[in-house]
Amino acid sequence: MICIKKNLFFDDSFKVQLLSDSIKLSNDKKMIKYIIPLFQNSCIEWKLSKCQSKLEGFSILLNGKLEYFEMEQNHLELLKQFLDGKIFYMSIHKIYKTVLFCGRGTYGHVFKYQNCLTGEYVACKSLKIGFKNTQEIFLEEVKILQTLKHPNIVKIKEFYMETKHFYIIMEYLDGKSLGDLLNQKILDDQEIIVILKQILRCIIYIHKAGYVYRDIKQENILFGEFGNLQTLRLIDFGLAIHQSDLQKQRKLICGTAGYIAPEVFKLESQIDQKIDIFGVGVLLWEMINNSRFIEGQDQEEKYRLNREYVFQNEFTQNIRNPIFRYLVEKMIVDNPEQRISAADALSYLDWAGIQSCDFMKDYENISTE
């Protein structure tokens, strides 16, 4: 690929090489070489045509100065595809327009955007610059989404930096949240299994990668397609953290009231990936009973009840399915040493499915409708 740098009298052409860790622009005649590392602090701005229908060029920050290059449109599209989700972009509203406000995430607002070039709908999470540790929080979430690639984890597409906001562009999910689904219908055992298996596979992957999610809840479970339970996605990694950093943040109580593992409130105790399993157990109980596990008149009371939580047998005595009862008891036990792992929970679910003919059904066509 070739790009052109416009000068006052003569234009310079540069060969573009896409490498695993950088982009290299080189002009052998003038012995000029630019290397743009694929780091989070590298940035590029795309230039669009006046009608915003196609790419015309790009500007890259080189030696503290934006340098502009032109390129054939098909090569620009290939370059952008290569760079998407790897480095900062600038001027988000040149490429995207706001469609609607979707809601609030852990550290920001979420919007539905439309790409002016392709017409594609995406989800956009915005974080306002100026709050304490905003950039650190933003970059950590971007890093985690770049690292974790799994069918049940929302996919990052691009990320932008403006003067007042950071933006993360992700795939837009057409389906409902698990919370919306539970408000509309009572799930049967087969549907619960389909959802639970996807959540467990996702958590196993996250844990094997060395991370802890820390915010399991109904609102963070979405479905990619309306009417298809097999398209589950875990969203909002604003509280996710590498396991090696868990103890460094031990003074912080992270999570959503009603889903926080009891050991998190005991600041003198060690915590690990088992805190996610407690949240999964709460979700499972809620799917079975179609109600909230920990309820309160307001967030303060809910937080207090969560902090004072101690497992009691009465929590599971009305669960008819013995397989679900066993899993819930093993997940929401207040002693993390007695809590089952995600891998063991999935293995048990698979084993139980082989043992029971009720679990030998085809779940492919299970619907959220």
pLDDT tens track for 111-161: 999 999 999 999 999 998 876 677 888 889 999 999 999 999 999 999 999
CATH superfamily ID and name for 95-171: Phosphorylase Kinase; domain 1 (3.30.200.20)
Query: What percent of the chain is modeled with pLDDT above 90?
Result: 72
Backbone angles phi, psi at 282, to 5 degrees: -65, -45
Report, as an integer, the average pLDDT of 67-95: 93
142-158 burial, b at 16+ Cβ within 10 Å, e below that, comes to: bebbeebebebbbbbbb
Contact criterion met (CB below 8 Å) for 21 and 35 = no
Return the pLDDT at 106: 67
Backbone angles phi, psi at 25, to 5 degrees: -110, 120
Residue 160 pairs in a beta bridge with 89, 167
Contact criterion met (CB below 8 Å) for 269 and 230 = no
Report, as an integer, the average pLDDT of 321-325: 95
Say how far apart CA 350 and CA 292 lie, in whole Å. Answer: 27
Q: Look at strands 156-161 and 88-90 and give their pairing.
A: parallel
Query: How is residue 132 written in tokens?
Result: 């304490």
Region(s) of the chain under CATH 2.30.29.30: 2-90
CB atoms within 10 A of CB 334: 14
CA proximity to 234, closest of 324, 150, 351, 360:
150
Region(s) of the chain under CATH 3.30.200.20: 95-171
CATH class given for the domain over 178-359? mainly alpha
Q: Looking at the predicted structure, is the pLDDT value of residue 59 above 80? A: yes
- Where helices occur in 262-316 by DSSP H, the ranges are 274-289, 299-307
Say how far apart CA 339 and CA 129 lie, in whole Å. Answer: 39
Mean pLDDT for all residues in the chain:
90
Beta-carbon contacts of 291 under 8 Å, excluding residues fewer than 6 positions away, are: none
CA distances from 207 to 160, 190, 200, 267, 341 (A): 28, 26, 10, 22, 10
Q: Looking at the predicted structure, is the pLDDT value of residue 304 above 60? A: yes
One of 84, 215, 298, 362 is an active-site residue; which one? 215
DSSP assigned state of 131: B
Reduced to 3 states (helix: H, G, I; strand: E, B; else coil), residue 169 is strand
**Whether residue 21 lies in the annotated active site:** no
Region(s) of the chain under CATH 1.10.510.10: 178-359
Query: How is residue 215 written in tokens?
Result: 């915010």
Q: How does pLDDT run across 160-195, given as a tens digit for each residue?
A: 999 889 999 999 999 989 999 999 999 999 999 999
Contact criterion met (CB below 8 Å) for 111 and 124 = yes
Please give the CATH architecture assigned to the domain spanning 2-90: Roll (2.30)
Return the pLDDT at 333: 96
Say how far apart CA 214 and CA 195 lie, in whole Å. Answer: 19
pTM: 0.89
Say how far apart CA 134 and CA 42 lie, in whole Å. Answer: 18
Query: How is residue 85 written in tokens?
Result: 């989700």
Say how far apart CA 302 and CA 298 lie, in whole Å. Answer: 6
